Amino acid sequence: MSLYNTIAPVTITCNKRLAPYLEQEVKDLGFEIQEAFVTGVRVKASINDCIRLNLNLYCASQVLYSLQQFEASNADDVYNHLLKIDWENIIPDPGYFSVTSNVQNPTINNNMFANVRVKDAVVDRLREKRGTRPSTGSDLIGTVLHLFWKNDFAEIFIDTAGDSLARHGYRKIPGRAPMLEALASATILASRWDRKSPFINPMCGSGTLAIEAALIASNSRPGLFRDNYAFMHLQGYDEEVYFAEQDKLEEQIIEVPEVKIIATDYSDLAIMNAKKNAVAAGVVNMIEFDVCDFAETEVPQGEKGVFFVNPEYGDRLGDVTELEETYGRIGDFMKQKCGGYYGYVFTGNLDLAKKIGLKAKRRIEFYTSTIDCRLLEYELYEGSRAVK
């Protein structure tokens, strides 16, 4: 049976705290969740199913197809077990492969040593079966193998993604301290935005939040912006399966002429770069860009949309004293201009968030890099009702 049609455990990983949104995405694609954990979910799927997952998921990082689980107390055990796997039926000839790993074993103090033992086993097996040595390296441009090894439990995967899916591929000009695309998608999915009402994004920087909102609203998937995945570098790859999934991506895009997405920034350069990124993502016509102070941003009245801002929070950018004033102005703007909206502030500085002067209805936990962050949700009432 072709490896592409064989059902096996598949682990779909994501950045920490994105798992609830990834889990819902995977369910929406019709997969049954076997297990959910802090950095991903596990399903049963074939590699052909993995192609679909790679192309469709906003919040994922890797899609790992399990080959085998085994016991290993040391690196020689890993080598001896992997030497028995029929790599000649997995890696093309001539082939190039790379190895990544997640290792927590008391005999290993450097993951690179574990990677080398995996490479040794695969190379020795292929040299014996083919008489030639495959190429190896650290670039994720061919077949990618992933070793998970914790204490005595080990599992070897085919990483069907290669480079992380968390970078969606359209953003050519990242700007300063950009939000990871998968994180931006997850924060939008965590909000109460209905994908039809206004989405207002001041301080837009390189435009990631506004672009991801436009992609989600139009059901435009990340697979539209990438043309190389590790699953393309396996024995028996049928490009027609991939092309069929690509066609589905195009067919499922929806027109949403009624949606109003507004992105502003005080920097001419930021808006210029955000427009270029939106062009690359194919959504520039869905977003109204403007150069202005955030407090001058147009907020359509009489509608119940979302105000979403990701201000600097003093860890990497911005002076904290100046930012206290900025956060206070954000609170004033939401109270005065955003009645009827839900307000969202994504920040890694909860002390600064206190300067907003509003009580958050929800505090949703996220990370950006290693920074503990919150997406703060404010319900902003219209008229004379007290603002909370």
What pLDDT shows up at residue 386?
A: 42
What pLDDT shows up at residue 144?
A: 98
Summarised one tens digit per residue, pLDDT across range 112-156 is 999 999 999 999 999 999 999 999 999 999 999 999 999 999 999
Pairwise CA distance, residues 234 & 68, whole Å: 17
**Pairing mode of beta strands 96-104, 143-150:** parallel
Residue type, 316: R
What pLDDT shows up at residue 387?
A: 41
Residue type, 175: G
What pLDDT shows up at residue 383?
A: 62
- CATH code, domain with 71: 3.30.2130.30
Q: Which residues contact 247 (CB under 8 A, 6 or more apart)?
A: none
Task: Please state the rounded mean pLDDT for residues 209-216.
Answer: 98
Give the closest residue to 46 by CA, choosing from 27, 66, 30, 61.
66
In the predicted model, is pLDDT for residue 205 greater than 70? yes
| Structure-model confidence comparison of residues 78 and 174, the more confident one | 78
For residues 91 and 134, membership in a common domain is answered with yes
Structural domain harbouring 361: 181-219+254-379
For residues 277 and 137, membership in a common domain is answered with no
For the chain, how big is the Rg over CA atoms in Å? 23
In the predicted model, is pLDDT for residue 25 greater than 80? yes
Summarised one tens digit per residue, pLDDT across range 94-122 is 889 999 999 999 999 888 999 999 999 99
C-alpha to C-alpha distances, 253 to 11, 171, 215, 229, 248, nearest whole angstrom: 27, 20, 9, 22, 9
Pairwise CA distance, residues 151 & 104, whole Å: 6
What pLDDT shows up at residue 388?
A: 40
The answer to whether position 387 is within a domain reads no
What pLDDT shows up at residue 44?
A: 98
For residues 261 and 139, membership in a common domain is answered with no
The answer to whether position 49 is within a domain reads yes
Judge contact between 255 and 218, C-beta under 8 A: yes
For residues 342 and 306, membership in a common domain is answered with yes
Q: pTM to 2 decimals?
A: 0.94
Residue type, 138: S
Query: Where does residue 138 rank: exposed (0-12), middle (13-18), buried (19+ CB within 10 A)?
Result: exposed
Residue type, 17: R
Pairwise CA distance, residues 108 & 111, whole Å: 7
Summarised one tens digit per residue, pLDDT across range 166-198 is 999 999 888 777 899 999 999 999 999 999 999
Instruction: Give percent above pLDDT 90 in the chain.
Output: 90
For residues 345 and 209, membership in a common domain is answered with yes
In the predicted model, is pLDDT for residue 318 greater than 80? no
The answer to whether position 168 is within a domain reads no
Output the average pLDDT for the chain.
Answer: 94
| Structure-model confidence comparison of residues 2 and 387, the more confident one | 2
CA-based angle 153:121:7, to the nearest 5?
60
Tell me how many domains the chain contains.
Answer: 2
